[in-house]
Amino acid sequence: MAKILLATVHTGVIAALEAYLIKQGCEVDVAISAEETIARAENGKPAVIILGELDIPATVISGQLKKNPATMHLPVLSLTFDEFTRPAAVAARIRKTLVRYRVLVAEDDRQMSQILKVVLEKSGFEVRLAHDGAGALAEVKAWHPHMLVLDIMLPVIDGFHVCQTMNEDPTLDPRPKILIISGRSSDWDQNLGAACGADGYMVKPFGHADFLAKVRSIFEEQSE
């Protein structure tokens, strides 16, 4: 049973949405201020936070949550007042958010790959690791991940060729999303990644919060 934190000053719409979500089998917590939202997120460990209108802008609160080590892994949905009044649509968005996506991390730096694995697992993702390009392609075929987090400088087969091979493989339907991570920051490298079929590109080093935000944004684009 998922625990949902609803946060908005509009107590009337909260009551209706809370009742609907409880009928759907969710446990619901409520906050009516930014301070209360952050406190309940830290202490209550909700599966999803639903942000509406509060005493400070939702974008500010979301930013604070993403910078807080205790809450940075929690998915946040920001809704308008009108969206709050459509419980069935909100429940559908929550279900999409709670899908346990499979993420394959292909990174030859074993310390970094373990760090990314922990960060992703804390955020509810199922994670496997590969440490060279051939292993990554084999794992994609065997495990069918929803996303491949792909370093460029891999042994055996480099990341660009892994990306290109996947993009041209008709048996990968649907093809996993691909997020390239690399210390190479030139426009040429980033454009080559896009040309090979990557859905995103992050330059190392990057923060855990920024990494999670990028992964989530790619999945959100997929569900639109």
Please report the pLDDT score of residue 222 as a whole number. Answer: 62
221 CB burial (10 A radius; 0-12, 13-18, 19+): exposed
Domains of the chain: 3-97 (3.40.50.2300), 102-223 (3.40.50.2300)
Q: Rounded to whole angstroms, how far apart are CA atoms 115 and 149?
A: 13
The confidence score (pLDDT) of residue 223 equals 55
**Range list of H helices, 123-158:** 133-143
The pLDDT value recorded for residue 1 is 60
Asked if 47 and 76 touch (Cβ cutoff 8 Å), the reply is: no
As a residue count, the chain comes to 224
Mean pLDDT by 10 residues, the chain (224 residues): 90 90 93 96 92 92 89 88 93 85 96 96 92 97 95 96 93 92 94 93 95 90 61
- Crossing angle, helix 58-67 and helix 208-223, to 10 degrees? 130
How many C-beta atoms surround the C-beta of residue 104 within 10 A? 23
- Cα separation of 55 and 1, whole Å? 30
Stated pTM of the model: 0.70
